[in-house]
Amino acid sequence: MLFMVIERFKDRDPIPVYRRVRDEGVKFPDGLKYLGSWIEPNFDRCFQLMECDDARLLQEWVLNCQGNGMTFEIVPVVPSKETREVVAPFLDGD
């Protein structure tokens, strides 16, 4: 499954998080795959696309990130192409 992880930087300050990444690296549990990320220009939020078959791996990762002043929102997502395939049979009805 795909998950959009929305991280909020405390006080819009990315420095502690980037310092930790630089010094310690990013540690993901086996089975949790990082696909990419995007940062808002005002440093409010980071959007990370992750993939895994067991949501508990996301929970483990969030717990490992504690103490960085960040909060997390985790949203299951479906790729647009797959959604189009689900919706297609309904387009010509009624």
pLDDT single digits (tens) 12-26: 999 988 888 898 888
- Spatial distance between the Cα atoms of 57 and 80, rounded to a whole number of angstroms: 24
Query: What CATH number was assigned to the domain covering residues 2-90?
Result: 3.30.70
Q: Per-domain residue ranges for the chain?
A: 2-90
Question: What pLDDT is stored for residue 20 in this prediction?
Answer: 85
Whether 61 contacts 48, CB under 8 Å: no
Question: What's the token pair of residue 11?
Answer: 């006080």
pLDDT in tens, 6-62: 999 999 999 988 888 898 888 899 999 999 999 999 999 999 999 999 999 999 999
Both tokens assigned to 46: 């980071």
Model's pTM, two decimal places?
0.87
Residue bearing tokens 């795959």:
33
